[in-house]
């Protein structure tokens, strides 16, 4: 599939800002199943500097600074991305979840580099601490000797079934235990929760930030997470790699999911960060449009960007 | 009685020390390595020094110790976070007996220290580059990635220009009870202590010139010059004379003395985060003349606090965009951001293997035995005998746990954490050091001590652009030693020592007076003066003058209290004086306040109230109390530490003692005396500023601050005395004349007759009188017209217009209109108008100057606020929290 993505972020300040330094992680990264055909920034006011680099996790980061006096900052990223199906998820060798823990724990002795590298994602991170309550919540899915993939999919489904999507109740910084208690949240919360569960058991999991196609297939319900950035989870399966899971929708991401980047949690892949001087209070507007170019519903029409 | 031979003199000094060493004293130290004695006799490398000490004798040594102490005190040498809290104020004692290392021992130690620097430099390069040591399983990832000093954002691009470099390195070392060297830890961000080591050497060389002049010891001079060369060559190819600044967290930081000292010694601008700004990718200092580009930053702020964009978002100390500028090679930072990961306490357990892997060498200097709890076997052992271990949390640098010293709850929490997050902890056994001799000036004997040493190394300046593996390090032949329990922090120690590294032959004494070294000083008080410094000097002037006016006024008020009839109440001057001092009670509360006072035979309630309120000013910390004003004065003075001369600084130290003594002054007479001392010391301070500061922009701002404050103070006082007083008349005029120190002048000119228009002439119009308004306007006009101006407008700026406005009002007034104040309502009204016309522009002038010249830095704000759980990732150390608070406090204090 080829998607055209337009991601607009605008901050309206109550007062003039004189200087702002920003860092964005809004450019799709290259993956075996994902190719970024083009991407461009349009920033108002025009930044003095715009520099791209690759961060520790391999994500594309753009730094820019704005130095003229401004009362709003608008960042529009337009990209075109081709996605294909993820690597076949059904033919990998099975591994029991306890064996997986042993594999990662013994990675230093076995010298398995992928498993060593995965250990970073077992650790606590700014938003996700090790909590026994999370391990207890996951227990039901992780029965003795159960295949790791089955257990992960069970947990994915369980969060989808038991939690209510509710954009009103959370901000980006909701503590994971609050989400567990209220059983409500948005995709970030569910991703953090699920990562917390997996890590609490002693397994690596990382946070994936990206988009998903917003138009529902005929006859299907519209998926949640449309019109905004989306977030899901990838869990490490020793000897195979990272399996993506989307607890917000209870499914495994497929070619309709476009990956921006990943990290330990939201803090590592915040789409737009900034520090400014002045500005006062600010109001945030985010618009995301993901349009399939060769989808029969939209092909041939002008792309209906924006609102 | 035969006089003892020269070699026997030291026996008196050593009496007790020797007894204990030979087992005749308490035997707890039997078998412990003794630095000074072997089999009860002095070791060869101590012979020379012992003879010198013995010749001087205990009395002279005690006197010289005191002299060294005075020198330290006068120079304000301290290393403590409580500078502004007089109750906590303390400084070091400098032991006149140094730590002595023989030539042979030094050769071995030096090799070990150099190897350690090379090893850590390679490790740093790998951790932020290929990370082979992690991929190959030499260092567990959970050990590296959980340390607050590992900066993910510094690790992103392997090809980036500014890969973290280890340029300066400090190593804490002890000699253990068996005589082996052991490394306790490393300082790899901004090793502190070089300045103290040099200052200690200078101080002792002054206090004990004979002992130092011809001593066969290696000299320290040269090390800091090499440091300067290192920094200058970092920015190769940019500019011939790179602009190097020293970035400090500010006066609230425990190391601020050293930051100011180093900045002065090496002629770097001392800047805080606020002074720097990243624009157009460049880092610049905000100066009076605009932005001044910076090439190299010697930073003394810890890693996580340096850039709120990419590192800790809640940092007020850092500079947004700094990491990006460094990444692009627009600025060089020493040591580079990210080097803090080398301070990781668990590395000690892995260094021997890392040395074989990275250097192909065996580690020369062993580390203190350290166990990483992330290893399951280690953890099992440690849990079995937890109370024998010293536990460290790697996310909380400097914090040490001992189970037997923890409360029940805390101990339980520690046990839980050890199970849940074992990789965050290390365990060590307690240590015993060798015995070192030290002179105790109280007992006048040489006593047995436990000492920790800090050594400093740095890249050879010529090697800085070589491959890291080819870089050589040089070690300062000396360092800083401190007395305390093994492994205790330098900042907690009370006694520090010089370290002597012996040379084969006597080395000529090289003067290390700071003026003699460094590149030729180009004055820094020109337009490149940072705006923050200008602002602090301005407020230093204002608070200093405010302290002066209030001290004088209070002194005169206390004098009046003594003269007044204590049985009278509101018919006296006291209510007016309370108004002038800002302590007049609210009229509505007055009856209640008076009722609460128990009257007695001698004093009326009104008198007691006035007396209590006035004496209260001697101890109040608020905006009105003198200690409160002084605190603001001293806070601003510390922020410009590197712009004040040594003598001015001594005057401030004296003033501090005076102001601390104020609250202890009991009674009216003692209060008067104490205030007189404050007035005299303030005059000394400002006098020294006038005599020693270059009369450039910095001094002008100080002067402008003073005279704006003096103008406003005098005008308010005149208004009260001549117009609004409840009891106008001669006694109050006397107070005005005495407060402005014009009593004598007045009497000489007008004999003993007090007359309002004569006072007016003296205090308003007489431009030859430095206390008159007319004189002050003239002085301000001169100073303000010489400030740097932005743009090339041919019109007068607001500051000049305000002064002209006020001066004209004064010059154009019809003196005759003001005559007969006592009887004519018209005259009083005319004077009232005049005073208002003078006060308003002066109040506006302060704002106008601030607007035109000072940087108006708002704290940078985050676009996205992230409530990351505290204590995780990069914990707030208490110290930095304090600094941040003090920083914000100072902002608010203006």
Of B233, B186, B223, B467, nearest to B332 by C-alpha is: B233
Is the Cβ of A61 closer than 8 Å to some Cβ of chain B? Answer: yes
From the candidates A61, A202, A275, A285, which should be mutated to test the interface with B, based on the most B CB atoms within 10 A? A275
pLDDT in tens, B22-79: 654 444 566 889 999 888 888 999 988 888 888 888 899 999 888 888 777 766 655 4
Is the Cβ of A23 closer than 8 Å to some Cβ of chain B? Answer: yes
What average pLDDT does this structure show over A201-229?
A: 77
Q: Determine whether the interchain pair B156/A55 forms a contact, defined as Cβ–Cβ distance below 8 Å.
A: yes
**Partner residue opposite A48 with nearest CB, options B134, B280, B862:** B280
User: Which residues numbered 803-832 in B keep a CB inside 8 Å of some CB on A?
Assistant: none
**Partner residue opposite B279 with nearest CB, options A19, A108, A173:** A19
Phi then psi dihedrals of residue B560, to 5 deg: -65, -35
Q: Determine whether the interchain pair B863/A119 forms a contact, defined as Cβ–Cβ distance below 8 Å.
A: no
Q: Determine whether the interchain pair B324/A130 forms a contact, defined as Cβ–Cβ distance below 8 Å.
A: no
d(Cα B534, Cα B333) in Å, to the nearest integer?
Answer: 25
Inform me whether the pLDDT recorded for B808 exceeds 90. Answer: yes
Residues of A in contact with B157 (CB under 8 A): 53-54
Of B875, B868, B804, nearest to B841 by C-alpha is: B804
d(Cα B475, Cα B472) in Å, to the nearest integer?
Answer: 10
What average pLDDT does this structure show over B860-872?
A: 51
What average pLDDT does this structure show over B7-22?
A: 70
Q: Determine whether the interchain pair A276/B861 forms a contact, defined as Cβ–Cβ distance below 8 Å.
A: yes
Q: Determine whether the interchain pair B141/A125 forms a contact, defined as Cβ–Cβ distance below 8 Å.
A: no
Of B255, B270, B260, nearest to B79 by C-alpha is: B255
B423/chain A closest Cα distance in angstroms:
10
Give the other-Cβ count within 10 Å of B420's Cβ: 14
pLDDT at B91: 63
Q: Determine whether the interchain pair B279/A117 forms a contact, defined as Cβ–Cβ distance below 8 Å.
A: no
Inform me whether the pLDDT recorded for B522 exceeds 80. Answer: no
Phi then psi dihedrals of residue B318, to 5 deg: -95, -170
Q: Is B372 helix (H, G, I), strand (E, B) or coil?
A: strand
What stretches of B92-180 show up as alpha helix (H) in DSSP? Answer: 103-127, 132-135, 141-144
Inform me whether the pLDDT recorded for B159 exceeds 80. Answer: no
Burial of residue B417 (CB within 10 Å: 0-12, 13-18, 19+) is middle
Average pLDDT, chain B: 84
d(Cα B749, Cα B743) in Å, to the nearest integer?
Answer: 10
pLDDT at B520: 44
Is the Cβ of A172 closer than 8 Å to some Cβ of chain B? Answer: yes
Inform me whether the pLDDT recorded for B220 exceeds 90. Answer: no
Helix A148-162 to helix A97-105 angle, to the nearest 10 degrees? 110
Of B336, B340, B316, nearest to B327 by C-alpha is: B336
* Residue A261 CB partners (closer than 8 Å, separation 6+): A25, A29, A55, A57, A58, A59, A60, A208, A209, A210, A269
What element of type H or E holds A73? strand A70-83
Burial of residue B854 (CB within 10 Å: 0-12, 13-18, 19+) is buried
d(Cα A245, Cα A155) in Å, to the nearest integer?
Answer: 10
ipTM of the prediction = 0.90
What element of type H or E holds B97? strand B93-101
* Residue B703 CB partners (closer than 8 Å, separation 6+): B541, B779, B783
pLDDT in tens, B594-608: 888 887 778 888 888
**Partner residue opposite A56 with nearest CB, options B156, B281, B866:** B156
C-alpha triplet B382, B387, B392: angle, nearest 5° = 65
pLDDT top residue among B90 and B478: B478
- Centroid of chain to Cα A81: 16
Residues of B in contact with A107 (CB under 8 A): 137
pLDDT at A298: 44
Residue found under tokens 């293997």:
B353
pLDDT in tens, B242-254: 899 999 998 777 7
pLDDT at B373: 95
The residues facing A73 across adjacent strands are: A11
Phi then psi dihedrals of residue A11, to 5 deg: -110, 125
d(Cα B337, Cα B332) in Å, to the nearest integer?
Answer: 10
DSSP code string of B327-357: HTTSSEEESPTTGGGGG-GGGGGTHHHHHHH
pLDDT at B163: 64
What average pLDDT does this structure show over B73-102?
A: 65
Q: Determine whether the interchain pair B864/A273 forms a contact, defined as Cβ–Cβ distance below 8 Å.
A: yes
B528/chain A closest Cα distance in angstroms:
22
CB pairs under 8 A between A and B: 124
- Centroid of chain to Cα B618: 26
d(Cα B887, Cα B253) in Å, to the nearest integer?
Answer: 10
Burial of residue B416 (CB within 10 Å: 0-12, 13-18, 19+) is exposed
d(Cα B335, Cα B328) in Å, to the nearest integer?
Answer: 16
A88/chain B closest Cα distance in angstroms:
27
Poorest-confidence range of A276-290, B302-316, B405-419? A276-290
Q: How many CA atoms lie within 13 A of A1 on its CB side?
A: 20
Poorest-confidence range of A247-251, B8-12, B705-709? B8-12
pLDDT at B564: 79
Q: What six digits make up the tokens of B257?
A: 């003395």
pLDDT in tens, B438-451: 999 888 889 999 99
Cis ω for the linkage preceding B806 (within 30 of 0): no
Q: Determine whether the interchain pair A175/B869 forms a contact, defined as Cβ–Cβ distance below 8 Å.
A: yes
Q: Determine whether the interchain pair B137/A279 forms a contact, defined as Cβ–Cβ distance below 8 Å.
A: no
Percent of chain B with pLDDT over 90: 40
Residues of A in contact with B277 (CB under 8 A): 19
d(Cα A55, Cα A62) in Å, to the nearest integer?
Answer: 10
pLDDT at B730: 81
Contact (CB, 8 A) for B414 and B371: no
pLDDT at A307: 31
Inform me whether the pLDDT recorded for B80 exceeds 80. Answer: no
pLDDT in tens, B367-392: 999 999 999 999 999 999 999 999 99
Residues of B in contact with A67 (CB under 8 A): 279-280
pLDDT in tens, A68-105: 888 999 999 999 999 998 877 666 667 899 999 999 98
Write the CA distances from A260 to A34, A66, B151, B666, integer angstroms.
10, 24, 22, 72
Residues of B in contact with A117 (CB under 8 A): 134-135, 141
Q: What six digits make up the tokens of B861?
A: 């704000």
Of B428, B452, B425, B427, nearest to B438 by C-alpha is: B452
Q: Determine whether the interchain pair A119/B858 forms a contact, defined as Cβ–Cβ distance below 8 Å.
A: no
Is the Cβ of A74 closer than 8 Å to some Cβ of chain B? Answer: no
Q: Determine whether the interchain pair A54/B140 forms a contact, defined as Cβ–Cβ distance below 8 Å.
A: no
Residues of B in contact with A56 (CB under 8 A): 152-153, 155-156
pLDDT at A110: 85
What average pLDDT does this structure show over B655-673?
A: 88
DSSP code string of B481-550: EEESSTT--GGG-SEEEEEEEB-SS--PPPP--GGGSSSPPPPSSSTTSBHHHHHHHHHHHHHHHHHHHH
Is the Cβ of A202 closer than 8 Å to some Cβ of chain B? Answer: no
Report the residue of chain A nearest B419, measured CA to CA. A130
pLDDT at B889: 39
Phi then psi dihedrals of residue A109, to 5 deg: -75, -40
pLDDT at B860: 64
From the candidates B418, B861, B869, which should be mutated to test the interface with A, based on the most A CB atoms within 10 A? B861
- Centroid of chain to Cα B790: 33
Is the Cβ of A120 closer than 8 Å to some Cβ of chain B? Answer: yes
Poorest-confidence range of B59-68, B76-85, B688-697? B76-85
Inform me whether the pLDDT recorded for B856 exceeds 70. Answer: no
**Partner residue opposite B420 with nearest CB, options A23, A113, A130:** A130
Is the Cβ of A126 closer than 8 Å to some Cβ of chain B? Answer: yes
Is the Cβ of B892 closer than 8 Å to some Cβ of chain A? Answer: no
Of B448, B491, B512, nearest to B33 by C-alpha is: B448
Q: Is B294 helix (H, G, I), strand (E, B) or coil?
A: coil
Q: What six digits make up the tokens of B722?
A: 């001549």
In this structure, what DSSP letter does residue B765 have?
I
B421/chain A closest Cα distance in angstroms:
9
Average pLDDT, chain A: 87
* Residue A114 CB partners (closer than 8 Å, separation 6+): A238, A241
Contact (CB, 8 A) for B101 and B110: no
A185/chain B closest Cα distance in angstroms:
17
pLDDT top residue among A218 and B320: B320
**Partner residue opposite B280 with nearest CB, options A49, A120, A172:** A49
Inform me whether the pLDDT recorded for A62 exceeds 90. Answer: yes
From the candidates A57, A63, A131, which should be mutated to test the interface with B, based on the most B CB atoms within 10 A? A63
Q: Determine whether the interchain pair B324/A63 forms a contact, defined as Cβ–Cβ distance below 8 Å.
A: yes
Of B344, B338, B303, nearest to B147 by C-alpha is: B344
Residues of A in contact with B860 (CB under 8 A): 275-277
Q: Is A7 helix (H, G, I), strand (E, B) or coil?
A: strand
- Centroid of chain to Cα B763: 40
What element of type H or E holds B777? helix B773-785
d(Cα B269, Cα B565) in Å, to the nearest integer?
Answer: 58
What average pLDDT does this structure show over B337-352?
A: 95
Is the Cβ of A254 closer than 8 Å to some Cβ of chain B? Answer: no
In this structure, what DSSP letter does residue B796 have?
P
User: Which residues numbered 84-113 in A keep a CB inside 8 Å of some CB on B?
Assistant: 107-109, 111, 113
Inform me whether the pLDDT recorded for A227 exceeds 80. Answer: no
Inform me whether the pLDDT recorded for B819 exceeds 80. Answer: no
Is the Cβ of A297 closer than 8 Å to some Cβ of chain B? Answer: no
Contact (CB, 8 A) for A279 and B859: no
B790/chain A closest Cα distance in angstroms:
19
Is the Cβ of B522 closer than 8 Å to some Cβ of chain A? Answer: no
Residues of A in contact with B420 (CB under 8 A): 130
Inform me whether the pLDDT recorded for B508 exceeds 90. Answer: no
Of B614, B598, B610, nearest to B568 by C-alpha is: B610
d(Cα B422, Cα B146) in Å, to the nearest integer?
Answer: 12
Helix count and strand count (H, E) for chain B: 29, 23
User: Which residues numbered 858-887 in B keep a CB inside 8 Å of some CB on A?
Assistant: 858, 860-869, 872-873
pLDDT at B514: 43
d(Cα B872, Cα B866) in Å, to the nearest integer?
Answer: 13
Given 3-state DSSP classes, what are the helix, strand and coil percentages for chain A, each rounded to the nearest 5? 25, 40, 40
Q: What six digits make up the tokens of B220?
A: 């320290």
Is the Cβ of A268 closer than 8 Å to some Cβ of chain B? Answer: yes
d(Cα B783, Cα B781) in Å, to the nearest integer?
Answer: 5
In this structure, what DSSP letter does residue B622 have?
S
Residue found under tokens 């007479």:
B669
pLDDT top residue among A59 and B16: A59
Q: Determine whether the interchain pair B864/A129 forms a contact, defined as Cβ–Cβ distance below 8 Å.
A: no
- The band of B509, judged by pLDDT with boundaries at 50, 70 and 90, is low
Q: Determine whether the interchain pair A20/B872 forms a contact, defined as Cβ–Cβ distance below 8 Å.
A: no
């Amino acid at each position: 599939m080829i998607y055209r993505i337009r991601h607009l972020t605008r901050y309206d300040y109550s007062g003039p800002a004189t200087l702002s330094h920003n860092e964005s992680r809004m450019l799709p990264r290259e993956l075996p199943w994902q190719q970024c055909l083009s991407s461009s920034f349009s920033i108002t006011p025009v930044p003095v500097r715009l520099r791209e680099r690759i961060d520790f996790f391999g994500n594309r980061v753009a730094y820019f600074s704005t130095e003229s006096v401004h009362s709003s900052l608008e960042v529009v990223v337009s990209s075109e991305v081709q996605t294909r199906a993820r690597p076949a998820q059904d033919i990998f060798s099975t591994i029991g979840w306890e064996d997986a823990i042993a594999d990662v724990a013994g990675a230093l002795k076995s010298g398995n580099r992928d498993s060593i590298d995965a250990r970073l994602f077992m650790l606590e991170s700014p938003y996700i601490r090790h909590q026994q309550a999370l391990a207890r919540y996951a227990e039901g899915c992780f029965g003795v000797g159960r295949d790791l993939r089955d257990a992960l999919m069970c947990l994915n489904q369980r969060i989808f079934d038991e939690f209510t999507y509710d954009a009103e109740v959370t901000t980006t910084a909701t503590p994971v235990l609050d989400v567990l208690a209220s059983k409500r949240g948005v995709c970030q919360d569910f991703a953090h929760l699920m990562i917390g569960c997996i890590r609490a058991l002693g397994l690596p999991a990382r946070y994936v930030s990206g988009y998903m196609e917003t138009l529902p297939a005929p006859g299907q319900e519209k998926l949640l997470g449309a019109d905004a950035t989306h977030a899901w989870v990838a869990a490490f399966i020793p000897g195979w790699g990272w399996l993506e899971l989307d607890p917000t929708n209870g499914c495994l991401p497929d070619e309709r999911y476009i990956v921006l980047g990943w990290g330990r949690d939201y803090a590592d892949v915040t789409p737009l960060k900034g520090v400014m001087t002045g500005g006062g209070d600010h109001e945030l507007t985010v618009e995301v449009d993901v349009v399939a170019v060769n989808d029969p519903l939209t092909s041939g029409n002008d792309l209906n960007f924006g609102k | 009685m035969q006089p003892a031979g020269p070699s026997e003199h030291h026996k008196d000094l050593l009496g007790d020390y020797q007894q204990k060493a030979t087992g005749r004293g308490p035997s707890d130290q039997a078998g412990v390595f003794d630095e000074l004695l072997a089999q009860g006799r002095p070791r060869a490398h101590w012979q020379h020094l012992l003879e010198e000490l013995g010749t001087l004798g205990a009395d002279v040594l005690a006197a010289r110790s005191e002299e060294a102490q005075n020198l330290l005190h006068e120079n304000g040498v301290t290393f403590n976070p409580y500078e502004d809290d007089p109750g906590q104020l303390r400084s070091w004692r400098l032991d006149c007996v140094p730590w002595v290392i023989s030539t042979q021992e030094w050769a071995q130690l030096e090799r070990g220290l150099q190897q350690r620097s090379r090893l850590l430099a390679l490790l740093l390069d790998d951790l932020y580059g290929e990370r082979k040591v992690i991929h190959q399983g030499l260092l567990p990832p959970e050990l590296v990635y959980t340390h607050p000093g590992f900066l993910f954002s510094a690790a992103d691009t392997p090809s980036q220009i500014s890969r973290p470099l280890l340029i300066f390195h400090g190593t804490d070392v002890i000699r253990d009870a068996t005589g082996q060297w052991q490394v306790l830890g490393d300082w790899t961000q901004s090793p502190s202590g070089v300045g103290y080591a040099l200052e200690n050497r200078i101080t002792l060389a002054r206090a004990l010139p004979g002992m130092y002049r011809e001593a066969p010891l290696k000299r320290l001079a040269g090390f800091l010059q090499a440091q300067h060369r290192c920094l200058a060559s970092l920015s190769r190819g940019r500019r011939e004379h790179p602009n190097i600044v020293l970035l400090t967290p500010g006066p609230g930081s425990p190391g601020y003395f050293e930051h100011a000292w180093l900045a002065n010694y090496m002629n770097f601008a001392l800047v805080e985060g606020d002074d720097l700004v990243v624009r157009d990718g460049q880092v610049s200092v905000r100066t009076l003349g605009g932005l001044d580009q910076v090439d190299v930053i010697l930073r003394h702020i810890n890693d996580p606090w340096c850039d709120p964009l990419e590192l800790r978002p809640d940092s007020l100390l850092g500079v947004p965009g700094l990491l990006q500028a460094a990444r692009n090679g627009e600025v060089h930072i020493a040591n580079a951001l990210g080097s803090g990961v080398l301070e990781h306490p668990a590395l000690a357990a892995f260094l021997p293997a890392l040395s074989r892997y990275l250097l192909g060498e065996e580690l020369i200097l062993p580390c203190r035995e350290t166990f990483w709890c992330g290893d399951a076997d280690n953890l099992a052992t440690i849990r079995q005998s937890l109370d024998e271990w010293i536990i460290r949390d790697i996310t909380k640098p400097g914090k040490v746990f001992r189970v037997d010293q923890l409360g029940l709850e805390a101990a339980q929490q520690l046990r839980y954490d050890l199970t849940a997050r074992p990789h965050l902890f290390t365990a060590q056994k307690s240590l015993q050091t060798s015995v070192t001799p030290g002179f105790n000036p109280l007992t006048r004997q040489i006593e047995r001590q436990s000492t920790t040493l800090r050594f400093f190394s740095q890249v050879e300046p010529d090697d800085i652009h070589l491959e890291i593996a080819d870089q050589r390090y040089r070690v300062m032949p000396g360092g800083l030693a401190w007395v305390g329990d093994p492994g205790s922090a330098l900042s907690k120690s009370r006694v520090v020592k010089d370290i002597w590294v012996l040379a084969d032959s006597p080395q000529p004494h090289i003067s290390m007076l700071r003026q003699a070294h460094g590149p030729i000083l180009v004055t820094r008080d020109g337009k490149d003066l940072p705006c923050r410094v200008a602002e602090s000097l301005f407020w230093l002037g204002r608070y200093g003058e405010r302290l002066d006016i209030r001290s004088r006024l209070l002194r005169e008020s206390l004098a009046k209290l003594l003269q007044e009839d204590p049985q009278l109440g509101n018919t006296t001057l006291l209510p007016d004086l309370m108004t002038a001092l800002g302590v007049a009670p609210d009229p509505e509360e007055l009856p209640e306040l008076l009722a609460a006072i128990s009257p007695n035979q001698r004093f009326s309630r009104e008198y007691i109230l006035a007396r209590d309120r006035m004496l209260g000013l001697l101890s109040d910390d608020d905006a009105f109390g003198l200690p409160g004003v002084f605190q603001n004065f001293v806070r601003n003075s510390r922020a410009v530490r590197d712009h004040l001369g040594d003598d001015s600084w001594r005057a401030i130290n004296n003033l501090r003692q005076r102001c601390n003594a104020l609250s202890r002054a009991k009674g009216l007479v003692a209060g008067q005396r104490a205030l007189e001392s404050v007035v005299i010391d303030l005059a000394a301070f400002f006098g020294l500023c006038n005599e020693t500061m270059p009369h450039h922009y910095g001094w002008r701002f100080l002067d402008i601050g003073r005279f704006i404050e003096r103008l406003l103070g005098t005008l308010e006082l005149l208004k009260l005395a001549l117009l609004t007083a409840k009891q106008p008349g001669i006694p109050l005029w006397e107070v005005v004349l005495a407060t402005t120190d014009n009593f004598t002048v007045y009497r000489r000119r007008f004999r003993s007759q007090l007359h309002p228009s004569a006072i007016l002439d003296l205090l308003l119009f007489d431009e030859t009188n430095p206390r008159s308004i007319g004189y002050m306007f003239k002085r301000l006009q001169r100073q303000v017209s010489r400030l740097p101006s932005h743009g090339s407008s041919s019109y007068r700026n607001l500051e000049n217009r305000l002064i002209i406005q006020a001066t004209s009002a004064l010059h154009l007034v019809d003196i005759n209109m003001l005559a007969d104040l006592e009887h004519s309502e018209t005259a009083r009204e005319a004077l009232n108008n005049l005073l208002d016309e003078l006060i308003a522009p002066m109040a506006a002038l302060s704002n106008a100057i601030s607007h035109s010249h000072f940087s108006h830095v708002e704290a940078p704000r985050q676009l996205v606020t992230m409530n990351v759980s505290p204590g995780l990732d990069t914990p707030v150390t208490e110290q930095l929290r304090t600094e941040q608070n003090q920083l914000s406090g100072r902002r608010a204090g203006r």
